[in-house]
Amino acid sequence: MSNKQQPSTTKFYVSLSIKELQALGKVSGEAMRVYVAIASFCFGATSTTYAKHPAIAEKMGKTKGATRRSLNKYIGKLKDAGLIETYWANVGEYSYLHYKLPLKAEVIKKR
């Protein structure tokens, strides 16, 4: 598999582009951890996910979970920095908050 075809994320690791890494320098360490946790749900050529707060907290290693309030605080900081966009969309009969990672989408598009 050439570099051009390799997935950016699998269930075993998360790959961030240099552009993402540089942009993450604008946010706190905890906000960066939230970004990496959300990015871990974006497998292969996917730059969007509808991960729920408990799943994000679990990926961050928060065994007792992170409060919805604290996650929303860091998600807000990521949105302010332009690293994450959120929108509501239906999945089946339910509506879920989706996360889009615009820099990841940009990198995937350039492949």
Give residue-wise pLDDT tens across range 3-22: 444 445 556 678 888 999 99
Give residue-wise pLDDT tens across range 76-106: 999 999 999 999 999 889 998 999 999 999 9
Residue with tokens 């075993």: 12
Burial classification of residue 39, based on how many CB atoms lie within 10 Å of its CB (0-12 exposed, 13-18 middle, 19 or more buried): buried
Specify whether the CB–CB gap between 77 and 29 falls below 8 A: no
Radius of gyration of the chain (CA): 14
Question: pTM to 2 decimals?
Answer: 0.84
